[in-house]
Amino acid sequence: MTTTVDEDRYQLLDGLLADTRLDAAAARRPLRPAPAHLLTVSDQGPVIALPDPAPPRAELDDVLADRVAVRDYAPTPLTTAEVSAICAAADLMDVEAWPREQQAGLGLELYLAAWRVDGVDTGLYRYLPEQRALRRVADLPSGAEAAELVMQEEFAEAAALLLITGNLAGAIDRHGSHGHRLLLTRGGAAGHAAWLAALRLRLVGTVFAGLLPHVLRERAGADGYHRAPLLAFAAGRAAADATA
């Protein structure tokens, strides 16, 4: 029995889509918790408690149409309540959309590169969602030296960067090659959730690749496998001449 070219294409497309579905992957390979040696190790450092997330100042429908990538930022700092809202939005997206990954010990790790946040010294922090807090991980340079941390130096002018990382080793052990695709999807969803939360606070920013690989490797132990950078979101207040 022969099929038309269009039917062949539809069958191929359906197969590709099925391969990206977690349920389909689970049917082919039983899921199991990631082994202990593939789980990331908790960081040690002083903890800064965050306040409740700042409430939205705009409706989602009102900001979606105007969403643009902004790379020029005012020197005005963010508040800790705004940072709390941005971090919480990214974390909640992953928790609610992929609860089984959380249960397996493979939740995303969020880091904050803070340059201008009220009450928070310049540095790199790990977000602790259970405590609604930031744990200091490492020092970061500021001013002109901060530009050496990113590929495009304008991102070092943002008030803060939200850095999203995931356990690639654990994801592959749990799902096979599908784990990598799934991890990238989760990172993208978390980054855009942070972006929308910022827009609803009348802040600006954009998603981008993040800090240079060696920066997170040296300061947060991001070896690209057990702790792999996925995506980042630069946040701040709009400069008078900000452009997309």
171 pLDDT exceeds 50? yes
Question: Structure tokens of 158?
Answer: 């943002």
CA–CA separation, 227 and 162 (whole Å): 15
In this predicted model, what pLDDT tens digit does every residue of 60-80 receive, in sequence order?
988 888 788 998 999 999 999
50 and 134 together in one domain: yes
Contact 170, 34 (CB under 8 A): yes
- Would you say the C-alpha torsion 33, 34, 36, 41 has a positive or negative sign? negative
10 pLDDT exceeds 70? no
If you search the block for the tokens 């990954």, which residue do you land on?
101
The larger pLDDT score, comparing residue 67 to residue 50, is at 50
pLDDT of residue 163: 97
Query: DSSP secondary structure string, 6-56?
Result: HHHHHHHHHHHHHHH-HHHHHHHS---PPPGGGSPPPP-S-EEE--SPPPP
What CATH number did the domain enclosing 117 receive?
Answer: 3.40.109.10
Q: Among candidates 129, 114, 74, which has minimal Cα distance to 211?
A: 114
173 and 52 together in one domain: yes
86 and 8 together in one domain: no
pLDDT of residue 13: 62
Q: Among candidates 115, 239, 104, 218, which has minimal Cα distance to 172?
A: 104
5 pLDDT exceeds 70? no
pLDDT of residue 187: 97
pLDDT of residue 202: 95
pLDDT band, residue 151 (cuts 50/70/90): confident
- Asked if residue 244 belongs to a domain, the reply is no
Count other C-beta atoms under 10 Å from residue 205's C-beta: 27
Tally of domains within the chain: 2
CA–CA separation, 49 and 216 (whole Å): 23
pLDDT of residue 11: 65
Q: What percentage of residues in the chain have a pLDDT greater than 70?
A: 81
Q: How far is residue 96 CA from its own chain's centroid?
A: 15
Question: Structure tokens of 69?
Answer: 């990538």
In this predicted model, what pLDDT tens digit does every residue of 88-136 receive, in sequence order?
999 999 999 999 999 999 999 999 999 999 999 999 999 999 999 999 9
20 pLDDT exceeds 60? no
- Asked if residue 160 belongs to a domain, the reply is yes
- Asked if residue 38 belongs to a domain, the reply is no
Rounded mean pLDDT, 21-34: 54
In this predicted model, what pLDDT tens digit does every residue of 201-219 receive, in sequence order?
999 999 999 999 889 888 8
**Residues, the chain:** 244
The larger pLDDT score, comparing residue 37 to residue 57, is at 57
- Asked if residue 35 belongs to a domain, the reply is no
CA–CA separation, 83 and 233 (whole Å): 12
7 and 53 together in one domain: no
Domain that holds residue 12: 1-30
Chain-wide mean pLDDT for the chain?
86
- Asked if residue 36 belongs to a domain, the reply is no
243 pLDDT exceeds 50? no
- Asked if residue 243 belongs to a domain, the reply is no
- Asked if residue 37 belongs to a domain, the reply is no
35-49, 143-157, 167-181, 211-225: least confidently modelled range: 35-49
**90 Cβ contact partners less than 8 Å away, ≥ 6 residues apart:** 108, 110, 162, 164, 190, 191, 193, 194, 197, 233
81 pLDDT exceeds 60? yes
CA–CA separation, 235 and 157 (whole Å): 10
18 and 79 together in one domain: no
